[in-house]
């Protein structure tokens, strides 16, 4: 007996007749099943198992950050936090930020473990400026394809930043979105909420001429100006002039040094001294950020040379070929947080901050503004 041959359907097997009448059901069934193989979410580019594995890696990291007030954290639809009862008239203070194009260097150099600290610092240092104690933090991690090890390194940095700031990593979101990001890249956003007694909110309203401006040293470029930083790196690489070290650290480490967290030390100083205003020196540098906390009609007169210019910022200025004004409105230039306080309390406040581990400089005074700029460096 002759063996039966498998049914083969070619594009022309139905012929011209199919153009004039419906395809019989058996033929329709065979044609359709050839082009409708099952598609899973994983085949579409979203790996739920990888996401679950990341959550399990994150849980012990988040647990280290738990503090008074946390009622329910990672795993629920929403995180729960009770404002500590020691506050009589608590006012909530919120902040959100990212890490910016510093992430491009993290991708290129495979240095993912510190950008999470940057993410936390950019928000909790902002919340601190109003005199608030950061209570909790949430993160958003977005990528095209989830690499669990990379994501865990990033979140490990976030957890460390929260731990150092005394705030709880209470929740977050990991979004795997195929086609949205190039391979190996991701984006970050962070959200912090803090609390301050209503009577102790820092507004800068009491700042007056004669007050002293203290500067707390930065750890480096922090998370601002990296579009220019990357251009400087490109220029130096093309010229073969990339330095081996900056400020005693390997070149890449010096540039990726995470943003300094000022929270605990400054909160201690706030509890001990009548600080009038704080300014977190981020994008816009000294020239754009200090005026945000000054009353109308006042200005900050900073003394050039009253704090050291590090090798990092000296290299950036020389490589970019820019003047002092452009430097002071792009980078923190070595000062990451500014404290404004009455002259009578400045020395004691500086001593408290130094004892806690901060490097403090007296960098200027508050003066009448007149027709001048809100910040002068001379």
User: Can you give the residue ranges of every domain in the chain?
Assistant: 48-200, 212-377
Mean pLDDT of 213-233: 97
C-alpha to C-alpha distance for 295 and 291, rounded to whole angstroms: 8
DSSP string, 107-160: HHHT--SSHHHHHHHHHHHHHHTTTPEEEEEEEEEEESS--HHHHHHHHHHHHH
Mean pLDDT of 234-240: 97
Residue 242, by phi and psi: left (phi above 0), alpha (psi -120 to 50) or beta?
beta
Mean pLDDT of 329-351: 98
C-alpha to C-alpha distance for 48 and 345, rounded to whole angstroms: 56
- The token pair at 31 is 């044609």
Question: How high is the pLDDT of residue 22?
Answer: 53
Q: Please name the residue that has the structure tokens 């956003």.
A: 189
What's the CATH number of domain 212-377, 3.30.530.20, 3.30.300.30, 3.90.650.10, 3.30.420.40?
Answer: 3.90.650.10
C-alpha to C-alpha distance for 173 and 74, rounded to whole angstroms: 10
Q: Does pLDDT of 14 surpass 60?
A: no
Mean pLDDT of 185-214: 97
374 burial level (CB within 10 Å; 0-12, 13-18, 19+): middle
- The token pair at 252 is 């890449």
Mean pLDDT of 273-295: 97
Percent of the residues in the chain that have a pLDDT greater than 70, as a whole number: 90
Using pLDDT thresholds of 50, 70 and 90, give the confidence band for residue 12: very low
pTM: 0.88
65-88 per-position pLDDT tens digit = 999 999 986 777 889 999 999 999
18-50 per-position pLDDT tens digit = 344 554 555 445 454 556 778 899 989 998 999
Q: What is the CATH number of domain 48-200?
A: 3.30.1330.10
Residue 334: name the closest of 172, 208, 222 by CA: 222
């Amino acid at each position: 007996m002759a063996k039966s041959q498998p049914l083969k359907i070619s594009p022309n097997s139905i012929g011209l007749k199919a153009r004039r009448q419906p395809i019989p059901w058996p033929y329709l069934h065979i044609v359709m099943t050839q082009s409708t193989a099952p598609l899973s979410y994983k085949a579409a580019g979203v790996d739920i198992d990888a996401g679950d594995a990341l959550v399990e890696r994150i849980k012990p990291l988040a647990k280290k950050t738990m503090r008074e007030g946390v009622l329910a954290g990672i795993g629920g639809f929403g995180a729960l936090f009770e404002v500590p009862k020691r506050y009589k008239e608590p006012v909530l203070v919120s902040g959100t930020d990212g890490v910016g194009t510093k992430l491009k260097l993290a991708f290129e150099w495979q240095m993912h473990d510190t950008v999470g600290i940057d993410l936390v610092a950019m928000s909790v240092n902002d919340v601190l400026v109003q005199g608030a104690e950061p209570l909790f933090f949430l993160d958003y991690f977005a990528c095209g394809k989830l690499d669990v090890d990379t994501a865990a390194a990033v979140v490990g940095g976030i957890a460390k930043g929260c731990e150092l700031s005394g705030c709880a990593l209470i929740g977050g979101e990991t979004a795997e979105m195929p086609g949205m990001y190039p391979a190996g890249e991701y984006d970050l956003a962070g959200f912090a909420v803090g609390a301050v007694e209503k009577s102790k909110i820092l507004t800068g309203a009491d700042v007056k001429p004669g007050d002293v401006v203290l500067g707390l040293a930065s750890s480096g470029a922090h998370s601002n100006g990296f579009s220019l930083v990357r251009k400087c790196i490109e220029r130096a690489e093309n010229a073969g002039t990339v330095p081996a070290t900056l400020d005693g650290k390997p070149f890449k480490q010096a540039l990726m040094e995470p943003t300094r967290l000022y929270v605990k030390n400054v909160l201690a100083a706030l509890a001990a001294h009548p600080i009038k205003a704080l300014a977190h020196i981020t994008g816009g540098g000294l020239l754009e950020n200090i005026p945000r906390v000054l009353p109308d009609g006042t200005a900050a007169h900073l003394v050039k040379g009253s704090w050291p210019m590090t090798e990092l910022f000296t290299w950036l200025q020389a490589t970019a070929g820019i003047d002092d004004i452009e430097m002071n409105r792009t980078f923190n230039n070595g000062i990451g947080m500014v404290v404004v306080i009455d002259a009578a309390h400045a020395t004691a406040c500086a001593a408290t901050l130094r004892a806690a581990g901060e490097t403090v400089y007296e960098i200027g005074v508050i003066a009448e503004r007149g027709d001048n700029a809100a910040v002068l460096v001379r």
